[in-house]
């Protein structure tokens, strides 16, 4: 842990940092588990992005939906101190069912329109969340078009592929052929962002949100794409809240959004999967 970070934590805690261990998962920064001199254990995150936004999201999820997230102890743009939640258990069918219960409960939190009170990050990139009445307009403009145009400007997305994404955006009214209600989603549910009970019974906490009010199928499509939830997850979700006909076809469209984000983060290795997904949709 860097001296400036250690000093910030000690000033907040009122005692020394006795030990610090680097944790995995620092996609946009560095994450440490710190043991304080008074015995408390906390997670300390530093990043080049403004960490107060992550703190606001975690507090919003806790207050508005009751989703299990780490408590925020201290937040500045440079340093975020969170509750340490142990949990490195396996994603068993029982955990998948519990995950489905938790997400069904989260998706039951609704709003009048799509978007969020403030822009949120996805990795190191900004997600615009302007309040929008129409889901197709929101997803087309503020997810697919925004990501594709940004990736093209960053010279990681070839113009021909960007044109194919634009053609999908034009056809979204036909491709997303249902009328979802705005539902609060976590926005980045995959294995590394879950703290799982060591006995394999359930999810203790959800980390690193990228939340907004969306078609909840966006969340389900991401859970499927990342292999975070399989048959047990989807069976339970159907039992609890239901799943509209045509989900798997729409899920392919929704997959384009994280693929574009991954192209922006990681470059060429995600271009072929993006192009294959576009081809599968007929573009």
SS3 82: strand
CA distance 90 to 66: 23
- The stretches of 154-216 forming alpha helices (DSSP H) are 159-170, 172-175
**What integer pLDDT is reported at residue 89 of this predicted model?**
84
Q: What is the pLDDT of residue 27?
A: 63
- How far is the first Cα of the chain from the last one, in angstroms, to the nearest whole number? 48
**Residue partners of 81: CB distance under 8 A and separation at least 6:** 9, 12, 13, 42, 43, 44, 45, 72, 73, 74, 75
Q: Which of 88, 101, 188, 199 is catalytic?
A: 188
Measured CA distances, 72 to 52, 59, 88, 110, 227 (Å):
10, 7, 21, 24, 29
Nearest to 84 by CA among 142, 130, 20, 177: 20
Question: Any idea what DSSP says for residue 282?
Answer: T
pLDDT block averages, 10 residues each, the chain of length 283: 94 96 76 96 93 97 96 96 92 95 97 97 92 98 98 96 98 95 97 88 94 98 96 97 94 98 94 97 97
pTM, full prediction: 0.95
How far apart, in whole angstroms, are the C-alpha atoms of residue 20 and residue 31? 10
- Report the alpha-carbon distance of residue 220 to residue 30 in Å, rounded: 28
| CA-based torsion, 115, 280, 227, 220: positive or negative | positive
Q: Where are the alpha helices (DSSP H) in 132-246?
A: 135-139, 146-153, 159-170, 172-175, 217-225, 231-240
Residue 100 CA to residue 44 CA, distance in Å, equals 29
What pLDDT shows up at residue 255? 98
d(CA 264, CA 106): 28
Domains, the chain: 3-83 (3.30.200.20), 93-280 (3.90.1200.10)
For residues 26-47, b (16+ Cβ closer than 10 Å) or e, as one string? eebbebbebebeeeeebbbbbb
Residue 268 among the catalytic residues: no
């Amino acid at each position: 842990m860097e001296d400036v970070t250690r000093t910030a934590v000690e000033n907040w805690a009122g005692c020394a940092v006795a030990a610090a261990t680097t944790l995995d998962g620092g996609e946009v920064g560095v994450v440490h588990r710190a043991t304080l001199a008074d015995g408390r254990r906390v997670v300390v995150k530093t990043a080049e992005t403004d960490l107060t936004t992550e703190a606001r999201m975690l507090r919003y999820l806790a207050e508005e939906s009751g989703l299990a997230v780490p408590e925020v102890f201290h937040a500045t743009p440079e340093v975020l101190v969170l509750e340490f939640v142990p949990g490195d258990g396996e994603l068993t069918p029982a955990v998948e069912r519990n995950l489905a219960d938790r997400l069904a409960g989260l998706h039951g939190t609704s709003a009048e329109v799509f978007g969020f009170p403030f822009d949120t990050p996805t990795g190191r990139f900004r997600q615009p969340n302007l309040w929008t009445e129409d889901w197709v307009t929101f997803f087309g403009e503020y997810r697919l078009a925004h990501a594709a145009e940004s990736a093209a400007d960053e010279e990681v997305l070839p113009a021909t592929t960007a044109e194919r994404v634009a053609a999908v955006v034009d056809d979204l009214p036909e491709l997303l052929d249902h009328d979802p209600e705005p539902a609060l989603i976590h926005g980045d549910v995959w294995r590394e962002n879950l703290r799982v009970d060591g006995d394999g019974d359930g999810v203790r906490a959800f980390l690193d949100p990228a939340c907004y009010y969306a078609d909840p199928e966006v969340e389900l499509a991401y859970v499927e794409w990342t292999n975070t939830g399989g048959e047990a997850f989807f069976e339970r979700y159907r039992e609890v809240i239901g799943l509209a006909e045509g989900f798997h076809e729409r899920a392919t469209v929704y997959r384009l959004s994280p693929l574009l984000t991954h192209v922006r983060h990681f470059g060429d290795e995600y271009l072929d999967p993006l192009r294959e997904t576009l081809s599968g949709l007929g573009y």
